[in-house]
Amino acid sequence: MAKDCRQQWWKEAKFGMFIHWGLYAIPAGEYKGRQTKSVGEWIMKHLSIPVEEYAEFAKVFNPVKFNAEEWVRLASDAGMKYIVITAKHHDGFAMFKSAADPYNIVDATPFGRDPMKELAEACRKYGLKFCFYYSQVQDWYDKNGCGYGRPDEEKDFEEYLERKCLPQLTELLTQYGDIGLIWFDTPQKCKPEHSQRIYDHVKSLQPNCIVSGRIGNQLGDYMSTGDNMLPLLPYPGDWEVPATLNDTWGFKKSDTNWKSPKQLIELLVKINSRGGNYLLNVGPTAEGEIPEACADILREIGRFMQKNGESIYGTKAAPAYPYDMDWVRFTTKPGKLYMHLLRNVGKLYLLIGNTFRRAYYLETGEPFEYTLTAQPASGTHRLVAELPETLPNELDTVVCFEMNEEDVRFETLDTL
Ligand code: JFZ
């Protein structure tokens, strides 16, 4: 069944910031001379670090360079409309003040501040939705949390749910004002009644808070794909792609395999053109900084978004263009068709059912030159355009067509 999150802000947002931040930022991919081959936030498990040893990181966690406003401003400048941050990842360490478990950033570190409070305030100030990631099943620190140590079958998950998971969710949903969504993850063998309990718990505290797809047992309010993966077929409901900027979620000092602004914008547009949201991850350091290289990339995306946001926010999936071409994507709003030119193909041909009042480059307002020739046999039009040698924006040149009809119509009935 198609998912509907029923929150207009999320449907219009299209682009969000994911933040994976926790104790794993201290080893940053390397522990006692060993490198993890996997993502940074899984280091405890992949290098089999004993619980007591891993917990030592808390005693030295002191991200004094953390500045909530800077992070939120960066997200906002990049054109992101919501922030989802790891309140508790699989390592079990709470990045917020928790009465339910002293293994948290306020009670167990020299830092002693609650970064979630500061981020919540900054998000309110800049008008972004504030959201949490919460690992509801895996908890490698807790005796009854799953995923580490004793086999999960020997654990009393109900007990964990009552004592830690639900109370911490209460804290997250009462200490920080309105929360846009909770991003649950890796449900594993979570039973339907447990997923339902968690779901109902969230809604009882904040009815408008969205529950992500990975709550398990098909209960989420929208569908979440895998890292950087798009649904192969058009998906009619609400969906989101969580995606890395390099090859890790949690900070790893060896990973500088950043995707370029061009690649990221192409992904954003591809996802949006098919109706999805893009949740792009950053992994801040143990000092509390978003790596500069990563911030630079986001700022460049922001320059594009500032001028072309109209073709992203609040748009809907355009019907699939019958020929799969990766140099062009389409987004749409009632009466408007946005053509995203990702490469300069010189001469452009499209088969289209619509007619237009006006067409112009979104960034410059300059008219877009084209001819439209009716194809009486199929009732469509053949759009031909000679592109200028240099397009206004080599990342993505957006052309806005004002249609005489509400909806876009692509045609398959003819050849070009
Ligand atoms: C999970 C986590 O284990 C990981 O640490 C990170 O938080 C990521 C966002 O989510 O990893 C997954 C879970 C599911 C898929 C991929 C990565 N999936 O369904 O393809």
Q: Which atom of ligand 1 lies at the shortest distance from residue 133's CA?
A: 7
Indicate if the pLDDT at residue 47 is higher than 60: yes
Q: How far apart (Å, rounded) are the C-alpha atoms in residues 292 and 301?
A: 14
Band of pLDDT at residue 42, cut at 50, 70 and 90: very high
Coil, strand or helix at 32: coil
pLDDT of residue 413: 58
Q: Is 15 in the pocket of ligand 1 (CB under 6 A)?
A: no
Band of pLDDT at residue 403, cut at 50, 70 and 90: very high
The tens digit of pLDDT for each residue in 300-354 reads 999 999 999 999 999 999 998 887 788 999 999 999 999 999 999 999 999 899 9
| Model confidence, pTM | 0.97
pLDDT of residue 415: 60
Q: Which atom of ligand 1 lies at the shortest distance from residue 229's CA?
A: 20
The tens digit of pLDDT for each residue in 100-141 reads 999 999 999 999 999 999 999 999 999 999 999 999 999 999
Q: Is 38 in the pocket of ligand 1 (CB under 6 A)?
A: no
Q: 240 alpha carbon to ligand 1 midpoint, in Å?
A: 13
Q: Which two structure tokens, joined as six digits, stand for 294?
A: 């990563």
pLDDT of residue 124: 98
The tens digit of pLDDT for each residue in 367-390 reads 999 999 988 877 788 899 999 999
* 3-state DSSP of 3-48: CCCCCHHHHHHCEEEEECCCHHHCCCCEECCEECCCCHHHHHHHCC
Q: Which atom of ligand 1 lies at the shortest distance from residue 227's CA?
A: 16
Q: How far apart (Å, rounded) are the C-alpha atoms in residues 19 and 32?
A: 26
Exposed / middle / buried, residue 376 (Cβ in 10 Å: 0-12, 13-18, 19+) = exposed
